[in-house]
Amino acid sequence: MARDLGSDAAPREVPLRGWTTVPKGGQLVLDRPGTFLAGGLVAHGSIDIVIPRGVRLLASHKRSDYGPTQPDWYLIALRNCTGCSLRGGGTLDGDARAWDKVRAPGRRALVDWADPSCPVPSECRPRLLGVLDSRQVSVRGLALRDPVYWALHVRHSVHVALDGLDIHSEWGVANADGVDVDGSWDVDVRGCTVLTADDAVCLKACTPGRPTRRVSVTNCTLRSRSAAVKVGSETRADISDVTFGDLTILPSHRGLAIQLRDEGSVERIAFRDIGLHARHYHPSWWGGGEALHVTAVPRVAGGPLGRVRGVSVERVQARSETGVFVAGRVSDLRISQAHLTMAWRSGWPYAGLDFRPSDRGVVPGTTSHALFVTEGAAVAVRDSAVEYLRPLRPDWGSPLLQSQGGRSELQDVHVTGWCDAPSLLTTVNGDAV
């Protein structure tokens, strides 16, 4: 059911539940401007849904308006669709302010439903839009606003196009991701603006046997208080053949990230033609001001772990407070034609090496570096430059640090602005360069 909130008259029902009865090849146009309160809307089969500019669907915060378990909780779900489309200039609004419990300097405390179907009680809230168990689906031109959990979830679907979406979340709402692609193939995200508190674009593989493959994210503008781009951390199956290109990343806590924590592997990932800014934010948010973060460590000590290999980073222009951090089972990581500017821009101190989510948490008392390679990881860098701007942060160590078997191969890498250090390279624990 949906209620019209834009009229002085008594609330009226509109035929949003009729989506499930529209015949194959039919069209549903919500052609009356206004704000409508809704929840748990589902579309099946094949349908073209048009939500024009001036129409706003406001997500209900009543548990009774949604399905029996959390996997069913969406304002709109395209479920078991073939050839569905959702388009127009209208707005899906998660009404995050209605969930406020306490506003804090870092993350806002939110009201969560007490529902046994939620695996994480502190994340017991509905998502905005889902593309679920579907194929040949397009979502174009919509605005997604103030999600209280993930804004857009593509799960177990094939051939999905997300085009020209404008996604904004409240800056203090944790887990308000922008786009989450989970266990899906052939997904194209292009021309989107995603400005969110949590990860802006995140690729996952949450279910064993459900890999994520052939995903492209291009011509997008992103910002996050966590990672602007993230692969992981849920890697219960493989994630492979992914391209991120022509991206603009506004100041984020982490620019580009791969976090492998489970038994799946991450392979053949390309980052190309990207301009990014990374800086520190409140330490309650995952991230450490890195331009690039690639870690492959178990979620819990002794847990199953795949590997990261075949990652290329080309023509990236980065300005960050921390540089590149690579740790764990990472091989064949190649960086070329990159320019990293180390610039002190925030008032936050460096909290340490951030391994979250893992039982290692944040390792305090460490220094940050333009390139830090550790725990057996291997990186090759060529035709690249590092520039330090004054003033230098007190936590900055030498431009390159290798430790615990970490290896780096450098060719035509130039460093400027680091005049106070006796050496550009530091090794620890007796490791050979």
Judge whether residue 200 has pLDDT over 70.
yes
Average pLDDT estimate for 106-133: 95
Q: Are 298 and 261 in contact (CB under 8 A)?
A: yes
Instruction: Write the CB contacts of 226 (distance below 8 Å, at least 6 apart in sequence).
Output: 197, 198, 199, 252, 253, 254, 285, 286, 287
**Is 369 domain-assigned?**
yes
* Residue 235 included in any domain: yes
Q: What is the pTM of this model?
A: 0.93
Residue 182 lies in a domain: no
Amino acid 283: pLDDT: 93
In a domain, 262, yes or no: yes
Q: How confident is the model at residue 37 (pLDDT cuts 50, 70, 90)?
A: very high
Is there a contact between 203 and 234 (Cβ–Cβ < 8 Å)?
A: no
236 within a domain of the structure (yes/no): yes
Query: Looking at the predicted structure, is the pLDDT value of residue 306 above 80?
Result: yes
pLDDT digits (tens, 9 = 90+) for 132-157: 999 999 999 999 999 999 999 999 99
The C-alpha atoms of residue 66 and residue 77 are separated, in whole angstroms, by 11
User: What is the tens place of the pLDDT at every residue in 379-420?
Assistant: 999 999 999 999 999 999 999 999 999 999 999 999 999 975
pLDDT band (50, 70, 90) for residue 281? very high
Distance CA 156, CA 153 (A): 10
- If one counts the domains in the chain, the total is 1
The pLDDT tens digits for 220-256 are 999 999 999 999 999 999 999 999 999 999 999 999 9
What average pLDDT does the segment 112-130 reach?
97
Q: Residue 314 domain-assigned?
A: yes
Mean pLDDT score of the chain: 91
Query: What is the helix (H) or strand (E) element at residue 125, kind and residue range?
Result: none
Let me know if residue 50 belongs to a domain: no
**Collapsed DSSP state (helix, strand, coil) of residue 417:** coil
Is residue 93 in a domain?
no
Domain enclosing residue 380, as ranges: 199-433
